[in-house]
Structure 1
Amino acid sequence: MFQIIGLVMLFGLVFGSYIISGGNLNVIMHALPHEMMAIGGAGAAAFLISNSVSTIKGVGGGFGKAFAGPKWKTGDYRDLLSLLFLLTKTMKSKGVIALESHIEKPQESTIFSRYPRILKDHFAVDFICDTLRMMTMNLEDPHQVEDAMEKQLEKHHHEGLAPGMALQSLADALPALGIVAAVLGVIKTMGAITEPPEILGEMIGGALVGTFLGVFLAYGIVGPLSARLMDVVNTEGSFYRIIQSVLVAHLHGNAAQISVEIGRGSVPSTSQPSFLELEEALANIPAEG
């Protein structure tokens, strides 16, 4: 919502100030198609040259993510802690054999199925199951498990940031591409140097539209969208950090209740359930039969 409001303010205030100060919008509108073709075309070409197919696809989906915001809401963090509580409690009270059916086929698990939103996230489910599977294979050194989890998180986070970084690279290039378009406009103007001053003035104004568009798109639209997308990815990354915190705490021998309380401390402040809210959520889930 705030992103849409921001875009409306951006166009309204920038072009509104230009019109109020006596600027002729027709000059910009006349030059806009071919200047946009030069800048947008060069930007799109450079973007395709410098990025992989997966990154390009990620940028396409990233626009929706930038406007929608992080997919994990307050209730999802509470559900994640409840899920991890059930898994660690089952492992501690019934042993690894009782946990195997849940981590080998999570889609059929009576524990995972209680939290469908988490179950739909393939990375979260695989991250949990792979880590618990390592524990069932007698890899019980908390430091080794934490190191293995850290490497998975770093890889996933790096891949998640790639679309935002690609957009930022495009934003960095747009002002220079605007200058390219402006220089072409100046070259065209110099080729018509014998024209009357009013014609030359309009042609020079059209050339400067290229510089304006490059800077406007870079710092007004593409750059902010890149920053927003990377912020969303960073926020969503904290969801997976909670998994690491809880499972490592479990490996250190803590009770399930203590482990999820340690994980609660990693929840972003805006979505963090209180101690009593988490305690109530844990009390309201039935014991695994």
Structure 2
Amino acid sequence: MLILVGAVIVLASTLGGFIIAGGNPMVLLHVSEFVVILGVAAGVLVIASPGHVLKELIHKLQAAVAGKVAGEKEFTDLLKLLYEIFMVGRRNGLIALEEHIMDPKKSSIFQKYPSVLNHHERLEFICNGLKPVIDGKIKPDQLEALMDAELKAKSAEANHPVHILQLVGDSLPGIGIVAAVLGIINTMAAISEGPEKVGERVAAALTGTLLGIWVAYGFVNPLANRVQFNNAGDEQFLKCITQAVSGFAKGLAPMTAVEVARRSLDSNVQPGASELEATLKAMAPAK
């Protein structure tokens, strides 16, 4: 929602200032310039992006516009889920976790927390982190490095759409110049039509330069920055899982492992220590 508010502010301030200065907004409406600039920008996007990156870019933009980011509630649910899993492992042995980790969709624990269960990446990361511990295929002190390696790979992949958006944003001012040059060429061919026609075509050419710069710095680059912030939030979610799971694997008590993970969070999404502890202690023992 904030993105839409920002977009309205950019649009209103640009047109408002132009109108206050005595300008007529209709003189900025030159369809040919929109076709050239937005069309070339779309072409740059397609040329520069593999198919899977384009799909991920659309998904990231939809999430950014919808404002879908993990907040304090989602992190609280994550910590509660991890605590329940750790308590089962501590009380009944790691083998008791197998039914929950191998088929989380049917797990009585995971079903309590749809924000994790219905998010494929988060669910997979938790299960991938705990499977080697349950199987005994890896030493506890090696688990954190393994999870960090997976996290770095996911982080790099998540930032591909950001790089593409930044490329398009950086290209748009140049594309605007291309549109302006095309407009000047068109103007030179119409000199014989008189000053009025020449003025209209020069205005159209200048509009192309304006549009390229305006779209780049008013919309595309800020969107790239917002997607990057969202990626950082997703990465923090996975880092929280890494801290908790690796700590538990090294022998930390469930409450301590969860507290270590809680302290790794940014203050704007971090649950309060006393509130979280009270919530965890009040939970019914998991089975």
User: TM-score, structure 1 length as denominator?
Assistant: 0.94
Structure 1 distance, partners of 2:118, 2:69, is 12
Aligned mate of 1:151, from 145, 149, 152: 149
1:115 and 2:119 correspond: no
The corresponding residue for 1:135 is 133
Q: Retained in 2: the 8 A contact 1:140–1:251?
A: no
Deviations 1:21-66 (A, max 9, x none): 122323212x2x1101001111111111110111111222222211
The 3-state SS of whatever aligns with 1:144 is helix
Aligned mate of 1:90, from 88, 91, 106: 88
Q: Retained in 1: the 8 A contact 2:133–2:140?
A: no
How far 1:73 moved relative to its partner? 2.3
Residues 69-218 of structure 1 mapped to structure 2, 5 A cutoff: 69-218=67-216
The 3-state SS of whatever aligns with 1:27 is helix
How far 1:143 moved relative to its partner? 4.1
Structure 1 distance, partners of 2:269, 2:175, is 41
How far 1:92 moved relative to its partner? 2.2
Deviations 1:61-81 (A, max 9, x none): 222211222432211111111
1:68 and 2:70 correspond: no
The corresponding residue for 1:5 is 5
The corresponding residue for 1:271 is 269
How far 1:173 moved relative to its partner? 0.6
Identity of aligned residues (%): 35
Alpha carbons of structure 1 residues 132 and 26: separation in structure 2 relative to 1, 3 Å: closer
Structure 1 distance, partners of 2:40, 2:164, is 15
Structure 2: unaligned runs, 5 residues or longer: none
The corresponding residue for 1:54 is 52
Structure 2 distance, partners of 1:253, 1:97, is 16
Deviations 1:156-195 (A, max 9, x none): 2222222222111111111111100000001111112233
Number of residues of Structure 1 aligned to a counterpart in Structure 2 = 287
User: TM-score, structure 2 length as denominator?
Assistant: 0.95
Structure 1 distance, partners of 2:26, 2:101, is 64
Q: Retained in 2: the 8 A contact 1:87–1:99?
A: yes
How far 1:140 moved relative to its partner? 4.8
Structure 1 distance, partners of 2:225, 2:176, is 21
The corresponding residue for 2:14 is 14
The corresponding residue for 2:258 is 260
Q: Retained in 1: the 8 A contact 2:87–2:286?
A: no
Structure 2 distance, partners of 1:6, 1:288, is 45
Give the letter for the 2:19 counterpart: I
The 3-state SS of whatever aligns with 1:253 is coil
Q: Retained in 2: the 8 A contact 1:83–1:115?
A: yes
Give the letter for the 2:142 counterpart: Q
The corresponding residue for 1:282 is 280
The corresponding residue for 2:237 is 239
Deviations 1:71-95 (A, max 9, x none): 3221111111111112122222221
Alpha carbons of structure 1 residues 170 and 143: separation in structure 2 relative to 1, 3 Å: farther
Q: Retained in 2: the 8 A contact 1:139–1:145?
A: no
The corresponding residue for 2:218 is 220
Q: Retained in 2: the 8 A contact 1:107–1:119?
A: yes
The 3-state SS of whatever aligns with 2:36 is helix
Structure 2 distance, partners of 1:131, 1:12, is 49
How far 1:234 moved relative to its partner? 0.8
Give the letter for the 1:18 counterpart: F
Structure 2 distance, partners of 1:222, 1:25, is 22
Structure 1 distance, partners of 2:58, 2:124, is 25
The 3-state SS of whatever aligns with 1:270 is coil
The corresponding residue for 1:36 is 34
Q: Retained in 2: the 8 A contact 1:174–1:218?
A: yes
Give the letter for the 2:176 counterpart: G
Give the letter for the 2:129 counterpart: T
Structure 1 distance, partners of 2:85, 2:137, is 17
